[in-house]
Structure 1
Amino acid sequence: MYAEIGCLGSCHRLFSGIASPDVVCQTAMVSACTRCGDIDFAKKLFDEMPERDPIAWNAMISGYTQRGKPRDALELFHLMQLEGVRVNEVSMVSVLSACSHLGALDQGRWAHAYIERNRLKITLTLGTALIDMYAKCGDTRKAMDVFWGMKERNVYTWSSAMNGLAMNGVGDECLKLFSLMKEDGIVPNEVTFVSVLRACSVAGLVSEGIKHFEDMKLVYGIEPQLEHYGCMVDLYGRAGRLTEALDFINKMPVEPHAAAWGALLNACKIHKNMEIGELASMKIVEIEAKNHGAYVQLSNIYAENRNWDSVSYVREMMKSRGVRKLPGCSVLEVDGGVHEFFAGDHRTHPMSKEIKVMLDEISRRLKLAGYVANTEPVLFDIEDEEKEDTLSLHSEKIAIAFGLIRLNEAVPIRIVKNLRVCWDCHQYTKMISRAFNREIIVRDRNRFHHFKDGECSCRDYW
């Protein structure tokens, strides 16, 4: 009870008053600590438990996953196996969620094979977790294989499959699935409509998107939430209808959130509308003063318009407010191991020399193919050659170089990035996919990018 309302102190007092807590009490305290964010104390308590049943292991693994520590969750799961503890559905749902967070497709496949080997029943919950894992790792084909192979499907299963298609840029397929869902007698919920609206945005179907948004309330009695409004702003913005997007925000019956203004700001950057972009950025900063993305996006808009005084002003504002740009980080899975690369730094990696050689080879090939680095958004008071060096060390470029070295040519290079892919990296990756004849899949903060033969699934809008 105390954990549900965030009263960890009360949980500690209650627990310390128990003379000889049994495994049930200890497991409950582990769950309480993870729920309230004290993951370190939860692990300490877990390690000190004289005996641990499957429920205790599941509580700790789930806690790691929910608190954004997927690697720790997977490591603990492997230890659970080594100790011969019986794995059940709850364990596997947490493991699949951890794989989803990391974009670790190989480990996700292994988890799926483990489920089949141990003949765990594919329940609605487990099946939905498998669909979500494959979709978030960029393998929509396998996600749909799991979906169609399920004997029973509910609204959450359908919604998970639709969301996977939408986030991977397959909007038309998502909308087809929505039609099949209704034909199957499944009534959509608010989660379903988030996927539907995203799909309309990806497919450029503005009129259809507007109709679905209206049907939510008129036909299904679902009151639109902030996420639905954000999808509509993205729908208008992607189509270049920025004035309508702004008008939609101003007419929202609820206070617009940062994500809605963020969708508008992103559209302004793509369509080069500095005036509305300034407004959107300032609105985001009013709501979230430490939102580094808003400052960076506005700075980039100014840079592209060569408005250097405004670029300086934004950066001084960031400095005075203590706002720092989050360092770019890209994760790549090779042979079941997860490799992490940070922007500007590949020297600490054991294969740093090989990575540098590959980066030089990529640069050589792309320049022959006509690639010119887009240096405008980079700091303007350094030389062009330095700007190119800065861009060449963006985290996904380092990860791609490593992938080209280590992964078989037939295997797609799959990368998960914590930030939005910049314009230069997007062009760079498109050209690599053609120059090296490789499929590259990047999951950034906003969506998936499937690069192949010099093209991207996002159609250069992200």
Structure 2
Amino acid sequence: MEMKYDHVSYLTLLAVSTLLADMDLGKMIHCDIAKFGFDSYLAVTNALVDMYAKCGKLEDSVKVFVNMKARDIVTWNTIIAACVRSENCSLGLRMTNGMRTEGVSPDVATMLGILPMCSFLAAKRQGKEIHGCVLKFGFETDVPIGNALIEMYSKCGRLEDSVRVFKCMKMKDVVTWTALISAYGMYGEGRKAFRAFLEMEATGVYPDHVAFVAIIFACSHSGLVDEGLACFDRMKKDYNIEPRIEHYACVVDLLSRSGHFAKAEEFILSMPLKPDASIWGSLLSASQAHGDIKFAERVSEQIIKLRSVDPGYYVLISDVYAALGKWDQVRMIRKSIKARGLKKEPGCSWMEIRNTVYVFGTGDECFEQFEEVYKLLGILAGFLAKEGYVANLQFVLHDVEEDEKRDMLCGHSERLAIAFGLLNTKPGIPLQVMKNLGVCGDCHTVTKYISKIMQREILVRDANRFHLFKDGTCSCRDHW
């Protein structure tokens, strides 16, 4: 007797293929669904959108979505979540606009899908609009919504708004407190983060392993070594939380960022867990930033032994050898990266001016007004020299002449963004730049000078934290 399937059967099969992330099985099921006409069921097409997204095929997910004859709130939430999962936040925001155009009212799940996109893009305007929707639809009492708003505002350069949302929340959980502690940490407000941690405990909320990562990170980026170590010790002693590899990495970062390289190395060697590339990478990055290149070279050897698949560590190692002038080793590392199929994420920066987002790549000459931008950077170079600036050529990782190295530094993406912002905003207006990688030491120095020369506040968010440049100083106090 032949078994007949109904739409519920196909929903079950799709759930299995989604759970297993089995693309081939999912496609076979999709073919049968189309063949037998079950794609007329809304629940089935919603499940198809979700299946393709969770199998890493956003393009196929969007194709199903576009061809759907009917959509409901579940459909929109699913495609928005798919965009977030694939880190295609620009598409996600367009989908959000499409949802609004079709007159579909959002629910809590919609908001929890949209807010992380605003965080990722640092889209302040859209974030404020979503906050308005939260208030309009009465979602402000939902704790996860409040938590997402704290994170969104902090990543959009609006720490004061993060704190305001936190204070307005009547109910707070450990995620709420952790979001606030993380926000303070990103802005170098370690003292405030530490006070928030103690206040959380005083209210009877127990920190979890994520909260301990947040507080040790905050202490690390503010030079609060004793406080950070005390928090690490209390994890197991007071809360019976077994430290994970990320906690050990934070402690190594805490020690090495403050120049305690010997203590950091001793800590690594005493760990009960086998140190991975993230552990040695923290020590490498800090020792390089502090100029202890010989120590950094020794740490590099440890990372090479681990054969990490993260190209970022090999870029750091390449930096070290370049600073030592060992160009043969630099070429060897680069060949190794290429041979193993690893790809370094290209540096880029972006900024929003009058509701338009402008993106700049390192060495980019294809953006609007690029000739004016490079001309302004040339003019600024003269003012910088008068202020005593000398280019730090160790941040150029190519074996070229010094003049060419200076030109390469001038083309770093954050400098292009800052110059573009200076050209396209009124004098005195603060600038805000987002960057996908860490700010290099030379650009950090240059931005301090520009903030003084041009009398501008410049807020830069890099991969780790915010830097507020004002009157020739940075909020990180050169401790990043």
TM over 0.5: yes
Match of 2:467 in 1: 449
4-13 or 205-214, which moves further after superposition?
A: 4-13
Distance 1:381-1:228 versus aligned 2 partners, 3 A rule? closer
Q: What are the residue-to-residue correspondences of 1:195-214 with 2, within 5 Å?
A: 195-214=214-233
Structure 1 regions of 5+ residues with no counterpart? none
Match of 1:62 in 2: 81
- For residue 350 of structure 1, report the CA deviation from its aligned partner: 2.6
* 3-state SS, counterpart of residue 17 of structure 1: helix
Q: Which amino acid aligns with 2:371?
A: K
Identity of aligned residues (%): 38
Q: What are the residue-to-residue correspondences of 1:240-279 with 2, within 5 Å?
A: 240-279=259-298
Q: What are the residue-to-residue correspondences of 1:155-166 with 2, within 5 Å?
A: 155-166=174-185
Residue deviations 1:207-230, cap 9 Å, x none? 222221121112111111121111
- For residue 118 of structure 1, report the CA deviation from its aligned partner: 4.2
2:237 maps to 1:222: no
Match of 1:168 in 2: 187
Residue deviations 1:40-61, cap 9 Å, x none? 1100001011101111011101
Q: What are the residue-to-residue correspondences of 1:316-395 with 2, within 5 Å?
A: 317-318=336-337, 321=340, 323=342, 325-345=344-364, 347-379=365-397, 381-395=399-413
Distance 1:326-1:15 versus aligned 2 partners, 3 A rule? closer
Task: State the distance in 1 between where 2:428 and 2:45 align.
Answer: 48
Task: State the distance in 2 between where 1:180 and 1:53 align.
Answer: 43
Residue deviations 1:133-155, cap 9 Å, x none? 01112221110000001111111
Distance 1:449-1:288 versus aligned 2 partners, 3 A rule? farther
Q: Which amino acid aligns with 1:242?
A: F
**Contact 2:277/2:308, CA 8 A, preserved across alignment:** no
- For residue 317 of structure 1, report the CA deviation from its aligned partner: 4.5
1:6 aligned to 18, 21, 27, which one?
21
Match of 2:5 in 1: none
- For residue 272 of structure 1, report the CA deviation from its aligned partner: 2.8
* 3-state SS, counterpart of residue 414 of structure 1: strand
Q: What are the residue-to-residue correspondences of 1:26-425 with 2, within 5 Å?
A: 26-308=45-327, 310-315=329-334, 317-318=336-337, 321=340, 323=342, 325-345=344-364, 347-379=365-397, 381-425=399-443
Distance 1:139-1:288 versus aligned 2 partners, 3 A rule? farther
| Pairwise CA RMSD | 2.1
43-52 or 218-227, which moves further after superposition?
A: 218-227
Q: Which amino acid aligns with 1:173?
A: K
Q: Which amino acid aligns with 2:44?
A: C
User: Is the radius of gyration larger for structure 1 or structure 2?
Assistant: 2
* 3-state SS, counterpart of residue 437 of structure 2: coil
Task: State the distance in 2 between where 1:288 and 1:161 align.
Answer: 36
245-254 or 155-164, which moves further after superposition?
A: 245-254
- For residue 156 of structure 1, report the CA deviation from its aligned partner: 0.6
Task: State the distance in 1 between where 2:71 and 2:197 align.
Answer: 44
Structure 2 regions of 5+ residues with no counterpart? 1-14
**Contact 1:107/1:336, CA 8 A, preserved across alignment:** no
* 3-state SS, counterpart of residue 203 of structure 1: coil
Task: State the distance in 2 between where 1:403 and 1:314 align.
Answer: 36
Task: State the distance in 2 between where 1:359 and 1:407 align.
Answer: 16
Q: Which amino acid aligns with 1:413?
A: L
Distance 1:279-1:9 versus aligned 2 partners, 3 A rule? farther
202-211 or 65-74, which moves further after superposition?
A: 202-211
- For residue 284 of structure 1, report the CA deviation from its aligned partner: 3.1
**Contact 1:270/1:461, CA 8 A, preserved across alignment:** no
- How many residues are aligned here? 461
**Contact 2:395/2:440, CA 8 A, preserved across alignment:** no
Q: Which amino acid aligns with 2:120?
A: H
**Contact 2:50/2:79, CA 8 A, preserved across alignment:** yes
Task: State the distance in 1 between where 2:310 and 2:398 align.
Answer: 23
- For residue 81 of structure 1, report the CA deviation from its aligned partner: 0.8
What TM-score, normalized to structure 2?
0.90
